[in-house]
Amino acid sequence: MSQARRYQCCVRIACDLRHTYPPTSKRRPAILLVSPRRLIRLMGSQPKASLHMRLPLLLIAALAASPALSAQCGNDASGFSRWKQDFAPIAAAAGVGQRGLQALANASYSQSTINADRNQRGVKYALNDFIRIRLGSIDSFANTARREKARNATFYASLEQVYGVPAGIILAIHGMETGFGRNMGQTPVVDSITTIAYDCRRSDFFIPHAIAALKLVDQGNLAPDQRGAAHGEMGHTQFLPGNALRYGQDADRNGRVDFYSVSDSLASTANFLRQKGWQPGQPYQQGTRNFRVLNEWNAATVYQQAIALSAQEIDR
Ligand SMILES: [Ca+2]
């Protein structure tokens, strides 16, 4: 298998695993109304919500008594335009500005996102199978990662200095998620994240990410037509928009947080792990505190094991 082909397979399987998003509710209503109060609860559930997120929530609270603020989910494209219209004031109340609202108005229903979501498989891989399918082998993957590291050793050293996360961990995630940036997805992020937020299966989970994506557009940190993976994951390490908004870093100091820039994306990844409790200079193999931080990045144990084993080999 060629390296490029292997990366494509890696990314496809990565998606299968990464997209084990919260299961649909067994008592899913036929019609789901997203009330402002519910939105407050959803967005407020994110730990340590920053002030710039809390203020819009107060505004939503002020509007919570308005019965007009609701958006009806749907299971096909037919209700998407109406949902966008109804979702716009909800997004505005959450702090989305004019550029974000324009991106919402221009969003198209993403059938490819829905197809990917409907085709999710709950396959569980043994570690050896996961490594074989995903990486070929630890040795070959680590060799590729070491070449990436050698191309910009100073940068990876600076990441460890600033965030305390070893280069091996960051490189392993970069390689695992997108084959070191070779495949970052082909679906417009705003289309995919608004479609999956509108879709009844996981509105609760994805609505805050849709609002975050629109805020990123507002900030100029996400182009309205930028492409990503099927569920709105962005850039080199496939951040969901809510995490992108919260953990993004402008590592190259050009005034923008750009998840399609290697330096910004990898610094944001390191920042995410550090903020989630990564302990600099401490071990990270299975059974350690740092290993448990990897669960914040991806809940699949085999993914965490493969990252830790690869990182050790990359940094040896
Ligand atoms: Ca930047």
- What pLDDT digit, counting tens, does each position of 44-82 carry? 333 333 334 444 444 444 443 344 578 999 999 999 999
Domain match, 62 and 154 both: no
How far away, in angstroms, is 263 Cα from ligand 1 center? Answer: 8
Whole-number pLDDT of residue 40: 40
26 in a domain, yes or no?
no
How far away, in angstroms, is 98 Cα from ligand 1 center? Answer: 23
pLDDT band of residue 301 (cuts 50, 70, 90) is very high
Whole-number pLDDT of residue 22: 54
Domain match, 303 and 165 both: yes
How far away, in angstroms, is 308 Cα from ligand 1 center? Answer: 28
Domain match, 204 and 304 both: no
Domain match, 173 and 209 both: no
Angstrom distance (rounded) from CA 54 to CA 52: 6
What are 160-188's pLDDT values in tens digits?
999 999 999 999 999 999 999 999 999 99
Cα 191 to the center of its chain, rounded Å = 15
What are 182-235's pLDDT values in tens digits?
999 999 999 999 999 999 999 999 999 999 999 999 999 999 999 999 999 999
297 in a domain, yes or no?
yes
What are 85-96's pLDDT values in tens digits?
999 999 999 999
How far away, in angstroms, is 249 Cα from ligand 1 center? Answer: 7
- Could you list the beta-strand ranges (E) of the chain: 187-188, 227-228
Domain match, 193 and 58 both: yes
Cβ-contact 70, 60 below 8 angstroms: no
Whole-number pLDDT of residue 282: 98
% of the chain residues with pLDDT over 70: 78
How far away, in angstroms, is 268 Cα from ligand 1 center? Answer: 10
Mean of pLDDT values over 291-314: 97
How far away, in angstroms, is 222 Cα from ligand 1 center? Answer: 12
How far away, in angstroms, is 224 Cα from ligand 1 center? Answer: 17
**pTM of the prediction?**
0.81
How far away, in angstroms, is 262 Cα from ligand 1 center? Answer: 9
219 in a domain, yes or no?
yes
Q: Which amino acid does the sequence have at 255?
A: G
How far away, in angstroms, is 210 Cα from ligand 1 center? Answer: 22
Whole-number pLDDT of residue 265: 98
Whole-number pLDDT of residue 19: 43
Q: How far is CA 291 from CA 165, 239, 308, in A?
A: 12, 19, 7
How far away, in angstroms, is 223 Cα from ligand 1 center? Answer: 14
Residues 6+ apart with CB under 8 A from 47: none
Domain match, 206 and 241 both: no
- What are the phi and psi torsion angles at 35 (to 5°)? -80, 155
Mean pLDDT of the chain: 84
Domain match, 137 and 202 both: no
Q: How many domains does the chain have?
A: 2
Domain match, 198 and 103 both: yes
Whole-number pLDDT of residue 120: 78
Angstrom distance (rounded) from CA 52 to CA 250: 18
Q: Which domain holds residue 94?
A: 36-117+189-224
Domain match, 66 and 136 both: no
31 in a domain, yes or no?
no
Domain match, 144 and 217 both: no
78 in a domain, yes or no?
yes
CATH number at residue 308: 1.10.530.10
